[in-house]
Chains A and B, each alone.
Chain A
Amino acid sequence: MREASRDKWKAFLTLLPSMILIGVFVYGFIGNTIWTSMTDWGGVGSLALDPQKNFVGLENYVDLFTGFLGGGFRQDLVNAVYYSVMLLAGAVGLGMFIAILLDQKPKGEDVLRTIFLYPMSLSFIVSGTIWRWLLAPQGGVNVLPKYFGFEPLTFKWLSSQSAVLVFNWQDILRILVSFVAFALILTGIYMLRKDQSKAIKRLLVPGIALGAFVWLFGDIIPDALFMEEEHGFNLATLGIIMATIWQYSGYTMALYLAGFNGISQDLRDAAMLDGASQAGYYRHVAIPMLKPITISAVIILSHISLKMFDLIFAMTGPDNAATGHPALTMYLTTFRANDFAKGAAIAIVLFLIAAMFIVPYLIGQYRQRGRH
C-alpha cells in the first residue's frame, strides 16, 4: 500500500512540470484570449504600454455575426466551410485511390511512393508560390491545351468573382435549424434497425417536427441581418483547394498504405478464396478495417484547413474577399487595424470550430477505453 502511494506521488511529481507548462502556455493563453475577446481593446492608443481595456461582454461576437462591418468575416467563414469539405473529400479520396493502386505492388512502387509523398516536404509558402504561377491567368494550366493544339483556357483560377451555392446570410438561423432536423432524421433512419422505439422517439419525431416547423413557420425565426447579404462558394477558391489537395493527398496516401500493409496477407487470401473481387476486398474488408485511419485523417485535415494561412497568403494575397479565410482576417484585424479584441474574438470562433471536430472524437475514444 505504501509502495503504491509512493509510486503515485512520484508519478505526480514527474508530470507536474508539464502540467504547469501546459496550464500556463495552453490554457492560460486561451483564457487570456477569451478575456481579450470580451473587451474593447482596439483603436487609437491600443498599442500603448498599458492600453485601456473595458469589459463589453459578447459585443465583439455579435458584431462579427450580425454587424455591418463583419461581412468580410462572414464570407471568410463560408469560404472556410466549403474549403474544408472540398479538401476532405479531395485529399482523402485521392489519397485512398493512390494507396489502392500502390497496394497492387506495381513496379517501382518505392519510387512512386516517394514522388507522391514529396509535396508534403515543401512548405506552404513555397507550394503557394509555385501554384500561383501555375494558375496565373495567362500561364501554366491555362496555356496547357495550346501544346496539344487547342485553344488556351480562360478560367480565372484565383481571381474569379463568380460564386455558386449562394445563400442569404439573413436565413442562416433557418438554414442551421433545417440542417439539425436533417441530421436528426438521417441518424434516426440509420438507428432504426438497432433500436426502433428509441430511434423514433428521440430522433425521427423531433427531427420531422423541427423540419416541418421551419418549413411552415420559418418566418418566426428572426433574420440574422437587417439587410440581404449573399455568400457562396467562390470559384476563385478552387485554385487554392487544388493546391492543398496536391500537397496533402500524398500524406493520406501514406497513412492508408501503411494501413493496407498492416492487414495480414492471410485475411486477403481468405477473402479471395471466398470469391471476393479486388474491388469487393477493398470495399468490404480493407477500407472498413482502416476506419481509425480515416477518422484521424479527417481530423488532422480539418484542422489544417482551419489554420490555413500561408498558402492563401502566397497565392492570392491578404486582401481578397473571394478567397479569404478567418485565420487571415484574424491576423489583419489584429495587426493591421489594431483591433485586438475583435481579432481575439475571431480566434475564439476558430478555436470553437476546431473543438467541434476534436472533442466528440476524444469523448468517443474515452468511452471506448472505459468499456474495456
Chain B
Amino acid sequence: MMRHLISAADLTRDDAVLILDTAEEMARVADRPIKKLPALRGRTVCNLFFEDSTRTRISFEAAEKRLSADVINFAAKGSSVSKGESLKDTAQTLEAMGVDAVVIRHSASGAPYRLANSGWIDAPVINAGDGTHQHPTQALLDAFTMRRRLIGPDAGIGQGLDGRRVTIVGDILHSRVARSNVDLLHTLGAEVTLVAPPTLLPVGVDSWPCEVSYDLDATLPKTDAVMMLRVQRERMNAAFFPTEREYTRRYGLDAERLAKAPGHAIVMHPGPMVRGMEITAEVADSERCTVVEQVANGVHTRMAVLYLLLGGNEPAVSHSRTEENK
C-alpha cells in the first residue's frame, strides 16, 4: 500500500479516480455553513516549506483544518535550516514531536522521496513540489478541474479523462507542474501535447507519454483544455528565448489565438500568472479561464489526498512506484 504521495506517476488509474471522486464529495463540504469534517481530529500535520509558496501552503493548511487536523507550519526562512540544520535533523525533530504526516516543499528535486525513504521519519510524506521534479497535488487538482468542466461534476464520478486532449504550453523544462500533469493525465487516459520553444523542453522529453509540438496555432484546434505555464524567470540562468515579446508572439495566449480552439475548450493556469507575457488579461479574466476554480479545487483535492492517506489505519491508495519514475 502507498503511504506517501511523492509523484503523480506513482498513482494507478484506480487511485487517481478514487482521489478525484473523494474530492468531489469534499467540494460539497465547501457549500455548507460549517466547512469542517472530523476525519483527522487529533492528528498533527506539519507543513514543511523549504521553499516559499504562499498559495500551496495555505491551500494545504485550509485542507488540513477542514479535516480537523492540528497544523504546524514550518518555514525554512528564519528557522534553524538557515543556520545550517540538515533535512535529517529537521525530520527527526518532527518525528520526536509526534507529527502524523509531513507536507514538504523543497527546491531540491527528490527531497520528499529522500524524506519518505530514509527511515528518518515514520509519518506519511506528501510532496508539495520538489525542484523541477513533481507536484502531484497540482496535477490532481488540474485533472479534477478538467473532469468537472469537460464532463461535469456528477457525470464525471468514477471516470477518467479518456480521449480528452490537453495542451500544455510554455516552460516545460523548469515545470514540475507539466511533468506531474503529463504523468497523471496519461494515467487517466487523456492525450497530452506539450508546446514550447525547443530550448524550454527537457532532455529525454521524447520518452514521456505525450506528443511534442513547437506550433501552438496548429495544436489549438484539437484541444479540450489548454494549460498555460508561467515562465519561471527565477529558475532561468541562461537565455532560453530571444525576447519576451518574441515568446509572447509565438506562445502567448490571447483572445485571437484562443478563438482557434473549440468553443468548449477551457484555459488553465497553475498560477501565479504573468499577465501580458504568457496570457493576456482578456483571456485570464474570461469565463473559459479556470484559474480561480483551480485554487478552490486545490483545497478539495488536497482534502481528498489527506483523508485517503491518513483517515484510516492504513492508506486507501495503492502503491505502484518504480524507480524510473523518480
Q: Do A and B bind each other?
A: no
Spell out A's residues near B (CB within 8 Å).
none
Query: Which B residues form the contact surface with A (CB < 8 A)?
Result: none
